[in-house]
Amino acid sequence: MSTAERDDVETLLDAMELCYDEGWSDGLPVVPPLPELVERHVAASGRAPDELVGEIPPAWGRATVERIAANAVMAGCLPEYLPAVIAAVEALLDERVGLHGVQCTTHVATPLLVFNGPVRRLLDINGGHNCLGQGYRANATIGRAVRLVLTNLGGARPAGMDKATFGHPGKFTYCLAENEEESPFPAFHTSAGLRPEESAVTVFAAEAPHNVNNHGSNDPWALLDTVADTMATLGNNNMYLASDYVVVLGIEHARIVADHGWERRHVQQYLHERARLPVRRLRIGGMYGGDIQRNFWARWVRRDDPDALVPAARTPDDIKVFVAGGAGRHSLVIPGWGTRTSTLPFDPQGAR
């Protein structure tokens, strides 16, 4: 190696260490946000660098296109990923997501991103085998870019404004695509009123995924009973706050359901009926308090009846059902922090 090459390496390492020292990292090495790299990302967005996307709580940092681009560079994104990153940030600013609380809570919740439509293929966002694991640059870096925006612009740093007791690995990146090609149901974003040819991102303040392992059931009743049982637990916020719930059916489980003529809405209705716990059990602990009015149950729940059954989500529509993953009879349930999902359409080619 020549002296010039050694100097280049030392300069790069110095820049990376500076990012650590300034608190701009998530604990992993970042790509130094050199001006020319940031400019390429901004250009790919088709938007002005000083355009304000929003203010990120709790520090209310100004998330301009340029600042989001700088965080996308640090996360390792390609320039063409920036429209997806910006869309996810915009969706998180929907008041139904409750981003301020999510940023500061002691809960483990962190934003989950699910992409639908042409953007999945355009950016190669994985929705198949190992879609929440390693191996795909888009999944890894788009989710990571959003986290860096929340930390660097929102000021939510661990042991500072981020009060998470534990957190979970999704706080590095938590991003997947729906497996529309293998799903027996229409794409999720069409249930939110969007067209199949539109690209969209759905965001949700989510716990880590809880696996549902069912290799034996061959009908939707027994299969979804397993899903419902995994949903209704004393320790998750949904049983007390009646907010949205995310269910990700694996391909094989989704086919079993569809082969019996069930559609997404039937899955939602069945899970709403079956994922329930009685008031007497919910009184054991969790978020049950002396003032039971803090529990945002449906109005029809008899709170003074110990045998009254409380659903894990207020309505069937509040159970958001996606289809993803590869082979194997597994599905996921993903409890939330206590708020809603937000689905936002966007142009994956940038706002040109």
Residue ranges of the domains in the chain?
Answer: 1-181, 208-336
Burial (CB count within 10 angstroms: exposed 0-12, middle 13-18, buried 19+), residue 342: buried
Please give the span between the terminal C-alpha atoms of the chain, in angstroms, as a whole number.
44
148-162 pLDDT, tens digit per residue, is 999 999 999 998 999
What whole-number distance in Å separates Cα of residue 323 and Cα of residue 348? 22
Res. 295 pLDDT band, cuts 50 70 90: low
Average pLDDT, the chain: 94
Residue 121's CB: how many other CB atoms inside 10 A?
14
Cα 6 to Cα 319: distance, rounded to the nearest angstrom: 55
**Coil, strand, or helix at residue 14?**
helix
DSSP label at 220?
Answer: H
Average pLDDT over residues 270-274: 98
Residue 287's pLDDT band, with cuts at 50, 70 and 90, is confident
* pLDDT number for residue 352: 47
Distance CA 146, CA 174 (A): 9
pLDDT tens readout for residues 314-327: 999 999 999 999 99
Cα→Cα distances 344→23, 116, 207, Å: 30, 10, 21
pLDDT band at 294 (very low <50, low <70, confident <90, very high): low
The pLDDT confidence band at residue 8, using thresholds 50, 70 and 90, is low
Do the Cβ atoms of 201 and 151 come closer than 8 Å? no
Q: In which residue are the tokens 């069945």 written?
A: 270
Share of the chain above pLDDT 70, in %: 95
Cα–Cα separations (whole angstroms), residue 16 to 25, 31, 276, 333: 9, 7, 50, 37
Give me the helix-helix angle, 220-231 and 251-259, nearest 10°: 130
H helices within the chain, ranges in order? 3-21, 35-45, 65-75, 82-92, 99-104, 119-123, 137-152, 220-231, 238-241, 251-259, 264-274, 279-282
Mean pLDDT over 310-316 rounds to 95
230: confidence class by pLDDT, cuts 50, 70, 90 = very high
Encoded tokens for 145: 């870019």
The encoded tokens of residue 255 equal: 């086919």
Longest dimension (CA), the chain: 79
Confidence band of 297 (pLDDT split at 50, 70, 90): confident
As beta bridge partners, residue 175 has 113
